[in-house]
Amino acid sequence: MKALLVKYKSVIRFIVTFLAVYGVLTIGYNVYLNVSHGSVFYPDYLTNLVAEQTNALLNGLGYEASITPHPNEPSMKIIINGKYVARVIEGCNAISIIILFLSFIVAFAGKLKTTLLYGLAGSIIIYAFNLIRIVILSVGLYHYPWRREILHTVIFPMLIYGTVFLLWMVWVNRFSKKAKSNA
């Protein structure tokens, strides 16, 4: 057993670190959600911010867009030209995806400064890409509502998780300690 632990030490360290960071960030995020429940920003600050920024981008693209709190669930309704096309729920704010991304980056850490900067830059890229994803999805649902299922459950998740995967690959191959030791 000891020989296996020694042989797979780096794999075990990666898994333990990933799970620890993921657990801490997820618990912290859930505490944030519980504390923000009933705050000024509905349903929570980050989800509200994503809805507001989506609205601004849609209006910037020439659509007459607005957002309004959903009366029956904790979400914000996106309305384009008077037509309710989508809703922004807590899961749409990309925080869970950013937590997953950061957990991997820390588990495959490089130098502290590089890890922090890449984690920040990657989080910003994921957040921005998510905003663009919601805007394109909203426009797609406005023009092609019959494509809702494939747009929402196949194409756009594939794009956001594909972006995270590409960021991970760049990290592992260019910046992590593993990349440095293979050079």
* Contact (Cβ atoms closer than 8 angstroms) between residue 67 and residue 78: yes
What whole-number distance in Å separates Cα of residue 98 and Cα of residue 31? 16
On whether residue 182 sits in a domain, the answer given is: no
**Confidence (pLDDT) at 18:** 96
Q: Average pLDDT over the chain, rounded to whole? A: 90
Examine residue 39 and state whether it is found in any structural domain, yes or no.
yes
What mean pLDDT comes out for the span 102-130? 94
Q: What would the mean pLDDT of 1-21 be, rounded to a whole number? A: 88
| Rounded Cα–Cα distance for residues 61 and 51 (Å) | 15
Q: Is residue 119 part of a domain?
A: yes
Q: Express each pLDDT in 66-76 by its tens digit.
A: 999 988 888 99
pLDDT at 180: 55
The three-state DSSP-derived secondary structure of 60-94 is HCCCCEEEEECCCCCCEEEEECCEEEEEECHHHHC
181 occurs within a structural domain: no
Give pLDDT tens digits for 121-178. 999 999 999 999 999 999 999 999 888 888 888 888 888 899 999 999 999 998 876 6
CA distances from 163 to 32, 102, 108, 125, 156 (A): 26, 13, 18, 9, 11
Residue numbers of the domain that contains 164: 2-176
Q: Is the pLDDT of residue 53 over 90?
A: yes
Q: How many domains does the chain have?
A: 1
With respect to residue 165, please indicate whether it lies within any of the assigned structural domains: yes
Beta strands 65-69 and 76-80, pairing class: antiparallel
Per-state percent for the chain, helix, strand, coil, to nearest 5? 75, 10, 15
